[in-house]
A and B are shown apart, each in its own frame.
Chain A
Amino acid sequence: MTSQPVRFYQVGSFAVGNRLFDKENRTVQSDPHRSNSLDSGHRACQGCGEALGARYALDAAMRATGGQLIAVNATGCLEVFSTPYPETSWRVAWLHSLFANAPAVATGVAAALKVKGMQDVRVVGQAGDGGTVDIGFGCLSGMFERNDDVLFICYDNEAYMNTGVQRSGATPPAARTATTEAVGAEPGNVFGQGKDLPRLAMAHGIDYVATATVADLHDLEAKVERAMQFHGARYLHILVPCPLGWGSAPNDTIRVARLAAESGIFPVFEAEHGEVTAVSPIRHREPVESYLSLQSRYAHLFGEHGRPDIVARIQAIADHNISTYGLLEEQAVGTGSNETSP
């Protein structure tokens, strides 16, 4: 009898239905006994991708470590919306020091645990894209280079959201921010070289680097689990749409994140020891326009005075990603994220 593998997107919405998994493979969030590391009642905007990503990532890390976890947070939206006392939302041992130093503080926590023989307790450092790719990069690179036992998670919403949506080194070309207004001949952010942090992390040769989005939460959790199997420096870069900064509808957060992956603009992959080991293939390729047009930060690219030339340049970036990572299903060797890419 010929058999056909079950493809989760047969549910039609392209979402991975929990129902289709065995009990033990269901998401942490479907477990009523999950840790709720980032509890409800915080002050994030409606539809905040960062709140969602952090909740999934930390609960998965809590499950992976049996609750033996300490989190170090950089300044940014995640820190601000979660803590105004006495309403801290954290149900995990949690320390915030500064904007730029979360990787180093996490190193200090790991060092203290090591010296006390408590290496069963694991450390997660976390920051926004600004705290990771810009101001915190020195500390992060140092932490990678020393291979300290820290999983560092970047919640990438592609700008300095906490201070009111200013450009960061992770802001994509043409995006409008408060410091890259949609005016002039080159509206929005410049087409620079970009700062590809996952690649930079890989260049440090650390054991594990992965990207994920809040559109594929199974994948995100699996990557946290996988990361926790390694000791030493590890890096997880999660794309987290920000309705406020991106000008997307709060109920579109998941859709926008999915379109970022399905358009190829945000490649989802895993790398071990500096080599890409798996990619999440695009199941239904979308033009970048579907992704861009849902966000008012790109509004100046469309409509009567639209800039198809700029959209084409962005499409070229997506196309480049698709070929570099082999993101199309027919290109990719496997269809699951545990498969190896060519």
Chain B
Amino acid sequence: MLRQIEGSRAVAETVARCRPEVVCAYPISPQTHIIEAIGAMVKSGQLSPCEFINVESEFAAMSVSIGASATGARAYTATASQGLLFMIEAVYNAAGLGLPIVMTLANRAIGAPINIWNDHSDAMAVRDSGWIQLFAETNQEAVDLHIQAFQLAEELSLPVMVCMDGFILTHAVEGIDVPDQSDVDAFLPPYEPRQVLDPSDPISIGAMVGPEAFEEVRYLSHLRQLDALERIPVLAGEFTESFGRESGGLLHCYRTEDAETIVVALGSVLGTIKDAADARRAMGERVGVVGITSFRPFPHDAVRSALSRARRVVVVEKAFSVGFGGVLSTDIAMATHDDDLTIHTVVAGLGGRAITQHSLEGMLVDATNGRLERLTFLDLDHGIIERERDRMTATRRSGPSAENILRDLGTVASRIG
């Protein structure tokens, strides 16, 4: 049943219906509404049995989740941005230990300069941690991915991160269907741990492993992620059977069959990109869209076949590797390894800057006319950059750039949409 409800609220209710036994989190925008709602459900007894633990840091939140998961409890947490970086050592540890923790990442930019708005820098920072990373395109998909995430995590003994765009999804109020408890129960069996701390059968977990076995242990986690590549589409199929709608899977293709230009992206921006593609199609350009849902494991084969007939690929990324360029683009290039395919990286939406259909269409026109460079930054104000570069040349002690740029801009509406 569709209800007008905030994305965070819908995710909180869904997570509750997945019956987590230990929920431990530390507040950070834009994740707060999720954990506040779960906290209230635990306190009122609506979600029971469940321990909701308020801790002193994200590092502790992930660590509590590690302890709980290793003791056989279904564990959930949520964070964003600085919080994810603050817990990063434990993020890697959870994956290394093979603990099926589920975490919502309400994607947000990373400072400095401090910025609470959406981009994907946080998710990219833990791309190599061993977590499965699923990106939701809509709030409905965010809801549905959480149910699949618990199933996937526990089946494979791997942690799963559901990435949903901060504010754009977390704070959007729209019609969302939160599945019924009985349907979730039918889909998601109780957690049966592969390893558990049990005084009647004591084992050591987290032992020192030297060069004699470390590579094998690591390779095994890679294999398990490859298993996930098989399981994710199957789970999505089972989900459709149970819940009657499509959600999840490795990637989503939109009008790609005859497309010459295919735009690839992650997350909620795909909606605007599809609108832009429709508009370009109306002008006679053959534009298609591929949305990657499973960023880790990365679906090389599915990407290759989805892009096999395209002449050019434009990867719109809400993050980039400073001093290098696109992150997702690199993965796309690896997957396609086709010298005749031109791959463009368009960095867009950093720190919450709106990605408008107008700008996307302009960029697509450039791409079609061969005017789009390999790496561009959408709607970048070059004048601001030049003026700050000039100030830096003029005087040694030019001061902090972020503040200089703000002063230069004066009072303007922040470009968040």
Report which A residues bind B (CB closer than 8 A).
67-70, 72-73, 79-80, 83-85, 88, 90-98, 100-101, 104-117, 121, 138-139, 141-142, 145-146
Contacts and interface: CB of A to CB of B under 8 A. Distances in A.
Contacts of A111: 22, 24, 51, 53, 64, 67-68, 73
B223 to A, nearest CB: 20
A106 B72 CA distance: 13
Nearest to B96: A97
A105 B204 contact: no
Contacts of A84: 207-208, 210
B207 A100 contact: no
A232 to B, nearest CB: 14
A93 B206 contact: no
B190 to A, nearest CB: 11
B199 interface: yes
A70 B213 contact: no
B56 interface: yes
B63 A146 contact: no
A101 B71 CA distance: 16
B60 interface: yes
A141 B73 contact: no
Interface residues of B, number: 44
29 contacts: A69-B199, A85-B208, A85-B209, A92-B199, A93-B202, A94-B197, A97-B63, A97-B67, A97-B206, A98-B89, A98-B90, A101-B60, A104-B61, A104-B64, A107-B53, A107-B63, A107-B64, A108-B71, A109-B68, A109-B70, A109-B71, A111-B51, A112-B21, A113-B71, A115-B73, A116-B21, A116-B49, A139-B57, A142-B57
Nearest to B207: A83
A105 B63 contact: yes
Contact of B68 (A68, A112, A121, A146): A112
Given A85-B213, A95-B205, 5 more contacts: A96-B205, A97-B206, A108-B69, A111-B53, A142-B57
A80 B97 CA distance: 17
A39 B203 CA distance: 13
A25 to B, nearest CB: 25
A70 B199 contact: yes
With most chain A CB atoms within 10 A of its CB, the pick from B63, B73, B210 is B63
B21 A104 contact: no
Contacts of B60: 101, 104, 107, 138-139, 142
A105 B67 contact: yes
A231 to B, nearest CB: 15
B59 interface: yes
Is chain A's interface secondary structure helix, strand, loop, or mixed overall? mixed
A283 to B, nearest CB: 39
A32 to B, nearest CB: 20
B12 interface: no
A115 B202 contact: no
Given A112-B73, A114-B51, A116-B21, A139 B63 contact: yes
Residue among A97, A110, A113 with most chain B CB within 10 A: A97
Contacts of A138: 56-57, 59-60
Interface string B334-377: 00000000000000000000000000000000000000000000
A145 B56 CA distance: 10
A263 B311 CA distance: 82
A100 B86 CA distance: 12
B202 A94 contact: yes
Given A138-B60, A146-B53, A108 B72 contact: no
Contacts of B75: 108, 112
A109 B197 CA distance: 9
Contacts of B56: 138-139, 141-142, 145
B208 A80 contact: yes
B55 A115 contact: no
Contacts of A116: 21, 49, 71-73
B54 A146 contact: yes
Contacts of A113: 71
B65 interface: yes
Contact of A112 (B22, B57, B63, B207): B22
A116 to B, nearest CB: 7
Contact of B71 (A69, A70, A94, A146): A70
Contacts of B72: 112, 116
A90 B51 contact: no
A97 B202 contact: no
Contacts of B50: 115
B403 interface: no
B64 to A, nearest CB: 4
Contacts of B204: 83, 88, 90, 94-96
A60 to B, nearest CB: 16
9 closest cross-chain pairs (CB), A and B: A108-B67, A96-B206, A112-B71, A104-B63, A142-B56, A112-B73, A101-B63, A108-B64, A105-B67
Contacts of A98: 63, 89-90, 93
Contacts of B55: 104, 107, 142, 146
B66 interface: yes
